[in-house]
Chain A
Amino acid sequence: MFNSAVNMTINSAYHHTSQQLHEELVIIEAAKLNPERFDVLYNKYYKQIFNFVYQRLDCKDTAFDLTGQVFLKAMLHLQTYEFKGVPFASWLYRIAQNELLQLFRHVKNKRAINADIGDLRFICEETEEPFFEEYLPAIKKLITLLNDEDLQMVELRFFEKRPFKEIAELLDITESNAKVKMHRVVEKLRIEIKKLKL
């Protein structure tokens, strides 16, 4: 259902082959011994994490600060990192997610939603409803009214265009669970968008 509307291929920035996973593990183990060897991971994932953070913030400087915090936390807790067969990025995303939540708890107005018009059109297509420009303010409002969990699903799926496998790994849930959750969010939106036409 979702794949037909939003044709998302594997995200090469995130996805790793088993060899890449292994090589990454070597680097992680080396970084555990010598923090200065964390630079490889830092350089590899800085942009990804920054984009993830900035996607949820309005302020660029805050996004850079928070990205730095994410990597510092990662370095401080690297000894506890356990390889689970997924890219190291998923661990960094989770740290970033926690950091963002912490920030939003303290400073609520920092939360922002960033999307392209095209992304909103995707949402309408997914709900099998036609998209009209005049619906834009209403759709934006619908999205802002979503709870944190649903909003996260929308952001990951429609705004960041991540495949379900990746979403599942980032949220530490199964792929089918991610699909079910997404389906529920889309149903909610479909009902609300239908109401807009009436």
Chain B
Amino acid sequence: MQPKFNINRPPISDDEINKYKNFEQLVKQFKQQSIQKAKHDKSWWKSKKVRYSAVIAGITVICTISYFALFNKSNTTKTNEKIITQNKETKGPEEIKGTEKTKFINAPSTKITIPYTIYKINNTKGGEIIHPTSSKIKIPKNSFIDKNGKDIVGDVTIEYREFHDIGDVIVSGIPMLYDSANTKHNFETAGMFDIKGSQNGEPVFIKKDKNLEVELASHTNETKFNQYYLDTVKKNWQYIKKDEVHFNKLSVNDDVRQSEQNQKLSNESPKLSLLKNQIEVIIPKKIDSVKIVYTKKVETLPKAKEPFKPNKPSGRQTFQIDADKKEYPELAAFDNILFEIGLENKNYTKEMSDITWNDVQISEGPQKGKNYLLTLTYRKRSEKLIVYPLLSGKDLEKAQQNYQQKFKEYESLAEKHKADEVKLMDELKAKQIAYLTDIKNKQAEYDKEIKKIEIQMQQQQQNQLATQYNAMSNSTKAMRTFQISNFGIFNSDCPHAQPLGKTINPIFLANNVVFLPDIIYVVEHNSKVVFTLSYADNYQFNYNPTNQYSIVIFRNNKLFICDKNAFNTTASNNSNKFNVTELQNGVDNLIDFKKALEI
């Protein structure tokens, strides 16, 4: 049959088209058909894998039942004993390990884990374990029994690990959801620990009338927390009691350390080092140099030279130089001058006056201008005499007059020299006093500055201590005491309600490609709470726009993070597409993980 051919058929308006649009109806139909399809879908049975698995599972169940029926009859009484002995609300670790734990506690990564620390404790002696975090586990003697209720003989292996922050909580895989009267809360932890006991690979149990005391070193001293035990069978946290908190006093630095620190700080202060330099180096150098300058000035003052008094003949042996003026013209100056032999000439003998000497030389004597050295030579003989020129008659009178005048000049010059020297020395003294005053002032300023810095230091230290105290993440602020009557996971927690605010259905993109995560955690940094998003809820969650959040995603053992900024950007754009970044180089340790999470 040929199709009908319409020419220029009027188009249907957009309004009419939109009138027929009914998405709700479509979803209803989809749901109905999906249910029907699921009911009638037997395709899974066609799979060989499913068939073989079913057969194997069936055989395994039959074999297991048969085995217990045949070989485990005799142990029935003992098992009962165990139940009676334990008689605790919660189940023993064996049950947790064997059945539910693997499902309920699901560590998201095999790379980043918190390992157990293993301790050995003698059951008959008991003892105290001190964990590296300062936590203490006090074990009374004879606390442990085996699965048959018999006292353990010998060493018991205690495996212990702690979780303190959201990073620890995430990698632990321990669910932090708390269902209280059908209201769901998420826990903020003040510290959580997981403790196990065994001997030779077999689990041990805590005796009914014994309790282990665990003093958990907590990173917070807040008192809002309660104690809970994780019941892995009921898959919920069980409230134990209000938490007991023992506060720790922070050690304050002793005086010596403080003074050392002050010294260190003062060395680092530019003003102080400047003052110190002035006091210890610059001003003393100025004092030294001014002394040198003034000493030189004094030295360079014109010195008065005392004139020599003209000598009169004393009665000692005298002589005149009688030399040929042509042959010895240099001696012409000493013509008519009478010389007296000095008393110091021990070599002088009278016979020396009788000798006609071949050669005579006159040079300056030891007392310049006062005496002369007379060298007399006769053949190989040579004699040296110190001689004093003598004046007599008119020459002497003239010389004496001259001497008087020169002596007066000398006296006035000497006086002036003395006055100048005194003046310079006074100047030097004044300058030195000024410098010393400067040093004193600077020392006072230095002391004042030191005091100021000390005060600053004290304040800084107090602030530092306060900051350290508040920001303390790896040190203990308080001890939380747990009395535990069975092994398992214990927590000091504060339940938080699901955040109110915006609801979001997130889509996750890694390298701009949409992907489905295996496990998603939303971290609320303000309340230190971790929320696990559920696939059943289409990963829908609420968030408070005023708080800070990060998203942690595990997929195929790879770790992806949407940090605070990225979350904030997406949320503030009212978008639901969260770009997550894979942690580079396959982060495989807790420290790097926490660093990436900005905690």
**Interface positions of A (Cβ within 8 A of B):** 22, 25-26, 29-30, 33-39, 42-43, 46-47, 50, 54, 58, 60, 64, 67-68, 71-72, 75-76, 108-109, 111-117, 120, 136, 140, 143-145
Known A58-B4, A140-B7; judge A33-B23 contact (CB<8 A): no
Docked complex Cα distance between A145 and B535 (Å): 54
Residue of A34, A50, A145 touching B505 (CB-CB under 8 A): A34
Q: List 11 A-B contacts (CB under 8 A).
A: A26-B507, A26-B514, A29-B514, A34-B505, A38-B23, A47-B14, A75-B30, A109-B1, A112-B6, A136-B7, A144-B5
Q: Do A145 and B2 have beta carbons less than 8 Å apart?
A: yes
Query: How far is A111 from B6 in the complex, measured between Cα atoms in Å?
Result: 11
Check if B65 is an interface residue, CB within 8 A of chain A: no
CB contacts between A and B, total, < 8 Å? 95
Which of B412-460 touch A at CB < 8 Å?
none
- Report Cα–Cα, A67/B22, bound state, in Å: 11
Chain B 203-243 against A: per-residue CB contact (8 Å), 1 yes, 0 no?
Answer: 00000000000000000000000000000000000000000
Give the interface SS of chain A, mostly helix, strand, loop or mixed: helix
B17 in contact with A35 (CB, 8 Å): no
| Given A36-B27, A43-B23, A76-B34, CB of A29 within 8 Å of CB of B4 | no
Give bound CA distance, A104 to B22, whole Å.
25
B577 partner residues in chain A, CB cutoff 8 A: 26
Minimum CB–CB distance from A193 to chain B (whole Å) comes to 16
Residues on A with C-beta less than 8 A from B538 are 33-34, 37
> In the complex, what distance in Å separates the CA atom of A108 from the CA atom of B1?
7
Interface positions of B from 1 to 33, Cβ below 8 Å from A: 1-9, 12, 14, 17, 20-23, 25-27, 29-31, 33
A75 to chain B, nearest CB (A): 5
**Chain B contact residues, CB within 8 Å of chain A:** 1-9, 12, 14, 17, 20-23, 25-27, 29-31, 33-34, 37, 505, 507, 509, 512, 514, 516, 535, 538-539, 576-577
Residues of A within 8 A of B516 (CB): 29, 33
Q: How far is the CA of A157 from the CA of B26 in the complex (A)?
A: 31
Closest-by-CB residue of A relative to B37 is A76
Extra inter-chain contacts (7) besides given A71-B26, A120-B7, CB under 8 Å: A37-B505, A38-B27, A46-B17, A50-B12, A54-B12, A68-B26, A112-B6
Known A26-B509, A30-B507, A42-B26; judge A140-B21 contact (CB<8 A): no
| Chain B hits for A144, CB < 8 A | 2-3, 5
Min Cβ gap A40→B in Å is 10
**Is B20 touching A113 in the complex (CB atoms < 8 A)?**
no
Least CB separation from B3: chain A residue: A111
10 smallest CB-CB distances across A and B, nearest first, come from A111-B3, A29-B514, A34-B538, A112-B4, A64-B20, A140-B5, A75-B30, A144-B2, A114-B6, A113-B5
Q: What residues of chain B lie closer than 8 Å to A109, measured between beta carbons?
A: 1, 4
Measured between C-beta atoms, what is the minimum distance from B512 to chain A in Å? 6
Contact B5 A112 (CB under 8 A): yes
Complexed CA–CA distance, A36 and B31 (Å): 10
User: Are B21 and A42 in contact (CB-based, < 8 A)?
Assistant: yes
Complex partner residue of A35 from B30, B505, B512, CB under 8 angstroms: B30
Given contacts A29-B514, A113-B4, contact A42 B539 (CB under 8 A): no
Closest chain B residue, CB of each to CB of A145: B2
Complex Cα–Cα for A22 and B516 (A): 16
| Cβ B514 vs Cβ A75 within 8 A | no
Residues from chain B with Cβ under 8 Å of A145 in the complex? 2
Residues of A near B1 (CB, < 8 A) are 108-109
Chain A residues near B535 (CB, 8 Å)?
A: 33
**B30 in contact with A76 (CB, 8 Å):** yes
Chain A residue numbers with a CB within 8 Å of B37 are 76
Please give me the residue from chain B that is nearest to A144 by CB atom: B2
Q: Which of A30, A37, A39 counts the most B-chain CB atoms under 10 A from its CB?
A: A30
Q: How far, in whole Å, are A39 and B505 apart by their CA atoms in the complex?
A: 14
Cβ of B273 to closest chain A Cβ, rounded Å: 60
Residue contact A72 to B30, C-beta cutoff 8 Å: yes
Contacts of B21 in A (CB 8 A): 42-43, 46
In Å, the complex CA distance between A123 and B141 comes to 101
Which residue of A is nearest B538, CB measured? Answer: A34
Q: How far does the alpha carbon of A109 sit from the alpha carbon of B2 in the complex, in Å?
A: 8
Residues of A within 8 A of B505 (CB): 30, 34, 37
Asked whether A117 and B30 contact (CB < 8 A) given A34-B505, A144-B3, A145-B2, the answer is no
Could you tell me the distance in whole angstroms from the C-beta of A161 to the nearest C-beta in chain B?
A: 14
Point out the residues of chain B lying under 8 angstroms from A36, CB to CB.
27
CB pair B7–A117 under 8 Å, yes or no, is yes
Chain A residues within an 8 Å CB radius of B25: 68
Residues in A neighbouring B576, C-beta threshold 8 A? 30
Q: Which residue of A lies closest to B509 (CB)?
A: A26
- Answer whether A29 and B20 are a contact pair too, CB < 8 Å, given A116-B7, A145-B2: no
In whole Å, how far is B361's beta carbon from the nearest beta carbon of chain A? Answer: 119
Q: How far is the CB of A21 from chain B (nearest CB, A)?
A: 11
Question: Chain B: which residue is nearest A104 at the CB level?
Answer: B3
Least CB distance, B141 to chain A, in whole angstroms: 57
Q: Name the distance in Å between B1's Cβ and chain A's nearest Cβ.
A: 5
Q: Is the CB of A35 within 8 A of B27?
A: yes
Whole-angstrom CA separation of A67 from B16 in the bound complex = 14
Known contacts A47-B17, A72-B33, A22 near B512 by CB under 8 Å: yes
Chain A residue at minimal CB-CB distance from B30: A75
- Take A26-B514, A112-B3, A115-B7 as given contacts and tell me if A72 and B29 are in contact as well, using a CB distance cutoff of 8 Å: yes
What is the CA–CA distance of A58 and B37 in the complex, to the nearest angstrom?
32
Cα distance, A119 to B37, chains bound together (Å): 44
Instruction: Tell me the smallest distance from the CB of A25 to a CB of chain B, in Å.
Output: 6
- A50 near B5 with CB under 8 A, answer no
Q: Evaluate contact between A76 and B6: CB separation under 8 angstroms.
A: no
- Bound Cα distance from A38 to B26, whole angstroms: 10
Please, which residue of chain B has its CB at the minimum distance from the CB of A151? B3
A58 → B minimal CB distance (Å):
5
The answer to whether A50 touches B17 (Cβ under 8 A) is: yes
CB of B514 within 8 A of CB of A25, answer: yes
A30 to B21, CA, bound (A): 21
